Structure 1
């Protein structure tokens, strides 16, 4: 996933510099990342794949560009096994509809 994200970033930056690309990393929580974050040594080892939080964060970032054509590409190695209930992460295996 890291290599794909870095390659996509290089493509967008080189061929489509007027476009915006946001990178979001997620495990138990989602967070916006910069390309240099992807080259860091490691990623935290946390249980859970919180796609709900990742999609919510993506929606907030894309809302800043109301006239733009918007697309979300998700790359994951896991099933949706976590979601937020308020500010707390709820884990469930097997996944439940909320995740």
Structure 2
């Protein structure tokens, strides 16, 4: 029972991070690091749904050097998950 409480807590925490980011993303540019946090929260939630079919590997240099418009990377990753990976029976890996 404790496992499920911790598991549910992790999902809710990542959902909260995701929703807070979307709510606060009205600024014109944000650090890439913050966008990557959003992507990580999104992928955590998707991984819960799709399990081992969704493999993720991050290899990003110094994220603090760049500023980008909010919600630039996340929709691309979301599209990759739903159009390219989840439709495959064996799943795929996002790099």
Whether TM-score is above 0.5 comes out as no
| TM-score, structure 1 as length reference | 0.30
Greater strand proportion = 1
| TM-score, structure 2 as length reference | 0.31
